[in-house]
Amino acid sequence: MDAVPTCKAKVLSFIDKARSAGPSLDLNVLLISLDTLLEARETWKSVQDYGIWIHMFKAAQPTAAAMISSSSSLESKGDEKKLGKNVYEIGEKIEQLSFLFTFLRDVAVPLKIAPDITANTLKVLDQGQLRTSKALCSVIKMFSTLRFKIIGADEDFKCPLSLEEIKDPVILKGDGRTYERKECFAFFAKLSII
């Protein structure tokens, strides 16, 4: 709970209403903490906000791992019906959060991806389908959007030789790139190939 301070009110309210203490209560507190981390994405306003979230996630990881480990040992003693659903749900949320952590650390922070682009891309996480082609398509779309924001859509329509807009395109078989026809012929004429 200390690792994710924004969940304290929810956790205290839950504990206050709980009928008993024990592994089930521990797992429910962990679920509240993980949900709070997932919900924190909605508060990101700038790339700097990613750092706060990354710190909270890293601080919560050891506690989450210990709670899962202790509940797994209880499951093997016959309490799997009681705890199994929570353990499975926790496993899914940790997978989502681990993906989010890796994405932020390795992609969003270094490339300075705006939170709105990150949020739109990571909507796939909410559906728990990280291992699908839909997730891959979402990430590819995000990179495409980012590319257009960084270099602009017009770059695709500029000749690499003249850096001017292409009006009469020709695709070279050798490299598969598109060039302005007259620039391409002029280039090869200079090399005495034509």
* Predicted local confidence at residue 38, as pLDDT: 80
pTM, whole model, 2 decimals? 0.61
The pLDDT of residue 76: 46
List 180's β-bridge partners, or say none: 169
Question: Looking at the DSSP assignment, which residues form a beta bridge with residue 178?
Answer: 171
| Mean pLDDT over each residue of the chain, to the nearest integer | 75
Choose the weakest-confidence range: 38-42, 106-110, 141-145, 149-153: 149-153
pLDDT of residue 112: 84
pLDDT 10s digits, 121-165: 776 555 556 666 676 766 777 776 666 666 655 556 788 888 888
| Residue 23 confidence class, pLDDT cut points 50, 70, 90 | low
Whether the Cβ atoms of residue 50 and residue 44 lie closer than 8 Å to each other: yes
**Alpha carbon distance 176, 174 (integer Å):** 6
Residues ≥6 apart with Cβ < 8 Å to 146: 111, 113, 117
Asked if 190 contacts 176 with a C-beta cutoff of 8 angstroms, the reply is: no
* CA–CA separation, 127 and 96 (whole Å): 10
